[in-house]
Amino acid sequence: MSRVLKHTVHKGLRALLGVDIVRTALPTATIDEGWAEERAYWRQILADFYQRQYGLSLHESQSDDSLVPPLDTVAKIQKLNKADPDGFFASGYRAVWTYHTELCDYGAQVDKMQNILEMGVGMGRLIVHYFPFAANLHGCDVTPEAIAWTRSKLGHRVQLQTTGVEPSLPYADGQFDFVYANSVFTHVPCALMDQWAAELRRIIRPGGFLIFSVFDPNHYLRDMTYREFHRRHQAPGCSEWGQDKGVLMMTYMSREQLFRTWGEHFSVLELRQHYREQSHIICQR
């Protein structure tokens, strides 16, 4: 990370938190080194995949640093490395490549789709990587600041809506070929899961796909002791904590509960693990 970027991060956090994180005992929030190399690597991976799979080149917006949101906006909903252009694009390339490969594994082709929705679109970090395709792109989010930022940057290409924590969504029955939700259902109250499953089934066409991310306990809950995890999460079910944090609360569903809840509304094809990342539930209506 450059000295200028470090100074910008420290200044932004000082303004946001009212303290100098460099001079206090608070844990320092750092941006990982090596993002520039990650960005170059995953850009090439995605470019090669698009060319091989679809015969398409990347869109210029997929490497446009002006689309990277400011630190104070990022801090409301995401890790601080998403305010760094290299972290923003590297993580976006990798995530979207993952969704694409999962779809292709089940015979779905993004270049044949008419309507795609990102639920929890945030700052547009992922949806921008669908710009090479002809599909109508939609995004929704519960954070007005995120929608305002994304609309100012991507509103010419993506139809954006501010939505609520509870269903419903402002879309027609069977409208979408593909809906994906990255780090959304890790922050939704357990009591709303079945309602959201039913609502997403409503807006996805028969044969369409839903992919969303969930916590992998071996990575995200690994700070717990064995006995604490066994006591709190081993039994099938859904648990939540940090409710006082609003949309930043945490939710964990056991494998059994995931298949039971979402299996009522979709064919649950797979729970796929990813290295040091959230796992993906792959569903088809």
Looking at every residue in the chain, the average pLDDT score rounds to 90
Distances (CA, A) of 230 to 222, 234, 273: 12, 5, 20
Instruction: Write down the pLDDT at residue 80.
Output: 81
pLDDT above 90 for 171: yes
The pLDDT-based confidence of 6 (bands split at 50, 70, 90) is low
User: Amino acid identity, residue 23?
Assistant: R
* pLDDT tens, position by position, 255-266: 999 999 999 999
Instruction: Write down the pLDDT at residue 122.
Output: 94
The pLDDT-based confidence of 141 (bands split at 50, 70, 90) is very high
Percent of the chain with pLDDT over 70: 88
List Cβ neighbours of 4 (8 Å cut-off, separation of 6 or more). none
* pLDDT tens, position by position, 82-120: 889 999 999 999 999 999 999 999 999 999 999 999 999
Q: What is the pTM of this model?
A: 0.87
Instruction: Write down the pLDDT at residue 247.
Output: 84
pLDDT above 50 for 273: yes
Instruction: Write down the pLDDT at residue 21.
Output: 40
Measured between alpha carbons, how far is 41 from 164 in angstroms, rounded to an integer? 37
Mean pLDDT of 231-249: 90
**pLDDT: is 196 or 232 the higher one?**
196
pLDDT above 60 for 8: no
Measured between alpha carbons, how far is 239 from 105 in angstroms, rounded to an integer? 31
pLDDT above 60 for 7: no
The pLDDT-based confidence of 22 (bands split at 50, 70, 90) is very low
Measured between alpha carbons, how far is 79 from 270 in angstroms, rounded to an integer? 27
Instruction: Write down the pLDDT at residue 29.
Output: 42
Instruction: Write down the pLDDT at residue 156.
Output: 98
The pLDDT-based confidence of 2 (bands split at 50, 70, 90) is very low
**pLDDT: is 17 or 248 the higher one?**
248
pLDDT above 80 for 134: yes
Instruction: Write down the pLDDT at residue 11.
Output: 53
Mean pLDDT of 210-232: 92
Mean pLDDT of 153-182: 98
Measured between alpha carbons, how far is 76 from 122 in angstroms, rounded to an integer? 10
Classified as helix, coil or strand, 156 is coil
* Complete edge-to-edge strand list for the sheet that includes strand 158-162: 158-162, 136-141, 115-119, 176-181, 204-214, 279-284, 267-272
Percent of the chain with pLDDT over 90: 76
Instruction: Write down the pLDDT at residue 19.
Output: 42
